[in-house]
Structure 1
């Protein structure tokens, strides 16, 4: 297994040969390599001593030990609809709903599964989904699978949303879907205004709070809670601030029952581990009480943002929270800067199209409450060396 910085940043050469029926795949990979867009497997974890500034572990929970106690099973054994529902799942769902002030919640195996399954189950042919241009791939795929008409609107542009809703007046149903804290740009929509537009045009509001949950709002309950907005569908993950794995959808008990029956990514998947569900109860309680962690995260983020700007980093001006996108000229420039930082002992991956729009390749730098003052100083020193 690779274990050095050089191993981490090395891009293996492509073999000129490939299996006959799949030889075209090699041609496509070669095209990606020529465009500077080839992605290759990284090491399983960062080499010892490397400072990681690209994870979503915003509160620093991912490395926390946890002992389940009791007799929680390691596996659910089946789909939740068959025999895979354990008391631990119900406990976790009640805890999540209580945290967010909703009637109920439903656990999914991943954020991708939650968005794809929910959107494909709720929207149908004859409906119109109004989707922000920078929504996550899981939202995009859920929209496509729903077979509803999709209106992709300009990023965080309220007039575009309203125009789309006006055009959709004759649709069977209307849906507006957005992230609350965008995963790549780190900016936020006007959730109050979106709620008002949805109410005016009889549309349902779906909000993915993956990157805001645990970080923003009272008791870390997200940006909807911070702005006093109640979405019709709340999507959240366990794999970011909570430091676990999996996801959930929260809302009314009717929504939960409907998704239980119709969300294919839930119905046809084995339930998440009951031990993971018990860990979710623990992490939700920890995050809800962790105002000190959120304050620490805000301070570290401010220090990194200030230091990067002093170095001339082209940070997106609207970014906020722990996501600091540094825009570079090209995919090659982003990869080169990532490699320079790796040689300084700092892991920040280059983000390139199609994950982000063409012309916006970047380093997606993230902060964490677990970073010490020495870590921040080391990080900024490493960035300083890398930009020379």
Structure 2
């Protein structure tokens, strides 16, 4: 008997319920717009990327990355606390604090490390964390690492959250954590209600703006700024790996918060600093996000149009102001079949399955980019309509 038999058995079980995962390689990105990719030699319209503003292949970001390498080298080669930090870091954190209108900012390697590091630094045994049931896995894992009591409230259900806050009034510290834009549904958190509850029950409020940064707000600051609530939120986290087209993450807040995290966030302290090329590309992306508001306007328009195209063809999709458009299909096998058939027709649209989404809500998660054309989106909607007709003909 092999010591790996249990792994093989679990792999077979996952395959039997359409939950096994594998990594596929993208051969190339076609053009600067980033809307087409090549996979296994086939050109596909990319409708599964978080590259919302189409910046990942922008010549200005690539040129900045090259300059960063030429000035600072290919890698940081050490933690920020062991000479891995340099001028690009300091300049970026200053720019982020000014952009967000907060006292200080701190850059992390990625969103996962930011959430796990911040949450586990802020709370521990004897504390309680109140987390939306649909929050990103990095938030959940941060809570688990913290050893605080994990209180999950029903999605965007403020009555349930208040019930849990009342039940845990005796906790040493209380932290409410939520995504502002939920990554698998594209809907928004009720921030005004969350601010009110945090005040009423003496809690800290942390928000994850990963899918709102660059997309919402007058200068792309996110949902907190769009609603005028940025100063009411204790910790604002965001990423550079989506609308910014680069990599990395940040936290903004009061000087006291950032100073504390600098000494307590283990994922920051014990990680090698970001490569200079990445930091330089973030600087370029931040300038574009701040100055080219027409990209956000076009993104909103295309998202609205694609929702309308799907509804016109009989699909049920929720209203929304974000570029995330889920088509909920139910069973994982059905979602996988839709994804395969879309790829056969030249469209990359990945099936999202449990545990990423709740059981029975497997879906195709479409994401629109500002660089898509209406012709491309119309064509994609037509392919979906044809697939549904074919599957219904097969009695599904």
Question: Which 5+ residue runs of structure 2 have no aligned equivalent?
Answer: 28-36, 390-396
1:312 Cα deviation from its structure 2 partner: 2.1
1:216 maps to which residue? 216
Deviations 1:79-134 (A, max 9, x none): 00111111111111111111111111111111111101110111111111000000
The alignment partner of 2:188 has SS state of coil
| Per-residue deviation, 1:164 | 1.2
Alignment partner, residue 180 of structure 2 = 180
Of 35, 52, 58, the residue aligned with 1:58 is 52
Q: State the alpha-carbon separation in 1 of the partners of residues 139 and 4 from structure 2.
A: 30
Gaps of 5+ in 1: 1-18
Counterpart among 274, 292, 295 of residue 294 in structure 2: 292
In angstroms, what is the RMSD of aligned CA positions? 1.3
Deviating more after overlay: 270-279 vs 31-40? 270-279
* 1:43 lines up with 2:25 in the alignment: yes
Q: Deviations over 1:362-382 (max 9, x none)?
A: 000010101023222222222
Q: Which residue of 2 aligns with 1:20?
A: 2
Going from structure 1 to structure 2, the CA distance change for 1:229 and 1:249 (only over 3 Å counts) comes to same
Residues 297-308 of structure 1 aligned to structure 2 (within 5 Å): 297-308=299-310
**1:107-118 equivalent positions in 2, closer than 5 A:** 107-118=107-118
Q: TM-score, normalised by structure 2?
A: 0.91
Q: Match for residue 325 of structure 2?
A: 324
Return the alpha-carbon distance in structure 1 between the equivalents of residues 15 and 109 of structure 2. Answer: 32
Question: 2: CA distance between counterparts of 1:275 and 1:256?
Answer: 24
Residues in 2 aligned to 1:374 and 1:364: alpha-carbon distance in whole angstroms: 20
Q: How far 1:38 moved relative to its partner?
A: 0.9
Contact 2:219 2:291 in 1 (8 A): yes
TM-superposed CA distance for 1:319, in Å, is 4.2
CA shift, 1:290, in A, is 1.9
Question: What corresponds to 2:394 in structure 1?
Answer: none
What is the CA distance between 1:293 and its match in structure 2?
Answer: 0.3
2:144 matched to 1:144?
yes
- Asked if 2 retains the 8 angstrom alpha-carbon contact of 1:344 and 1:386, the reply is no
- Secondary structure of 2:22's aligned partner: coil
Query: Matches of residues 1-388 of structure 1 in structure 2 within 5 Å?
Result: 20-45=2-27, 46-47=37-38, 49-65=43-59, 66-68=62-64, 69=67, 71-230=71-230, 231-315=233-317, 317=318, 319-388=320-389
**Equivalent-residue separation in structure 2 for 1:226 and 1:150 (angstroms):** 29
* Residues 283-339 of structure 1: per-residue CA shift (max 9 Å, x gap): 111101121001110111111100111222232x25441000101030000000001
Give the distance between the partners of 1:266 and 1:318, measured in 2 at CA.
38
* 4+ aligned runs moved over 4 Å, structure 1: none
CA contact under 8 A between 1:88 and 1:275: conserved in structure 2?
Answer: no
**Corresponding residue number in structure 1 for 2:31:** none
The residue that corresponds to 1:12 in the other structure is none
- Separation in 2, partners of 1:353, 1:319: 23
Counterparts of 1:205 and 1:102 in 2: how far apart (Å)? 15
